[in-house]
Structures are given as structure tokens and as C-alpha cells.
């Protein structure tokens, strides 16, 4: 930490760059959270699943099983809804043929359609 503080104090350009970087990151995070909050629960869950795909990908291209899966409780907390609502809406996504539930994991059956679904619903708001 001492080296970091000395580096910042000794280099004003780096200080300004870091401030701008953190401000932009904070702005993007705030926009993303507002964006998520103003959607239906099923869309929020779809957004979270797409974020997991983007961040962690799949175990393999053939299986389309998410490499990392949040617990249903964590999804509920992140989406700002109840655990039961997450289960119901994942079941709806499964009925739509977009995902497949395998135990506690999810297989994304149709990623492109899932992204279209969340984007279409988002434009209705």
C-alpha cells in the first residue's frame, strides 16, 4: 500500500487516470443496476444468466453448461426478488426452451434467443 500511495503522489497523471477509471466503472455499475431493477423478474434473471455467460462462459461448447452458477438465493438477492420467484421464473425459461435445469446447474439451450428475449422485453419498458 505504501508503494501504491507513493506512486499516486508522485504521478499526477496516474492519479487522474485512476480517478476517471473508477468514476466510469462506478457509472457503468450504477446504470447496470438501475437497468436490472426496472425490468420484470424473468428479464432480470435472464440478464444475470447472460452476465454469467459473459464472465465465466461454459464448461464446454458442446454441453453449454454454465462454468459457474450462482445459487438460487444469490440470484434472488442480485435480482432483488424472492427465492421462490427465481425458481418459478427459471422454470418459465425452461418451458420457453431457453434453458435446461440439471440439478443445481443450468444448461443454456438457446443463448441467442435468451439475449433476444431480454433485449425485446427491455425495449418494452
Counting residues of the chain whose pLDDT is more than 90, the rounded percentage is 72
pLDDT surpassing 60 at residue 122: no
- 118: how many CB neighbours lie within 10 A of its CB? 22
By C-alpha distance, which of 92, 84, 77, 83 is closest to 43?
A: 92
Task: Kindly indicate the confidence band of residue 125, based on its pLDDT and cuts at 50, 70 and 90.
Answer: very low
Q: Which residues of 13-36 are buried (b: 16+ CB within 10 A; e: fewer)?
A: eeeeeeeeeeeeeeeeeeeeeeeb
Residue labelled with grid coordinates 422485453: 121
pLDDT surpassing 80 at residue 100: yes
Would residue 106 be called left, alpha or beta, if left means φ above 0 and alpha means ψ between -120 and 50 degrees? beta
Identify the pLDDT of residue 121. 62
% helix, strand, coil for the chain, step of 5: 70, 10, 20
pLDDT surpassing 80 at residue 36: no
Rounded Cα–Cα distance for residues 82 and 45 (Å) = 12
By C-alpha distance, which of 35, 73, 63 is closest to 51?
A: 35
Q: What is the mean pLDDT of residues 110-125?
A: 80
Amino acid at each position: 500500500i505504501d508503494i501504491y500511495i507513493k506512486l499516486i503522489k508522485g504521478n499526477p497523471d496516474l492519479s487522474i487516470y485512476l480517478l476517471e477509471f473508477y468514476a466510469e466503472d462506478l457509472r457503468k455499475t450504477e446504470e447496470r443496476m438501475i437497468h436490472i431493477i426496472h425490468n420484470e423478474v424473468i428479464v432480470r434473471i435472464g440478464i444475470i444468466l447472460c452476465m454469467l455467460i459473459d464472465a465465466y462462459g461454459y464448461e464446454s461448447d458442446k454441453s453449454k453448461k454454465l462454468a459457474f452458477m450462482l445459487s438460487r438465493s444469490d440470484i434472488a438477492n442480485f435480482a432483488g426478488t424472492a427465492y421462490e420467484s427465481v425458481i418459478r421464473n427459471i422454470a418459465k425459461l425452461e418451458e420457453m426452451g431457453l434453458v435446461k435445469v440439471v440439478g443445481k446447474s443450468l444448461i443454456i439451450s438457446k443463448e441467442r434467443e435468451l439475449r433476444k428475449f431480454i433485449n425485446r422485453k427491455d425495449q418494452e419498458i
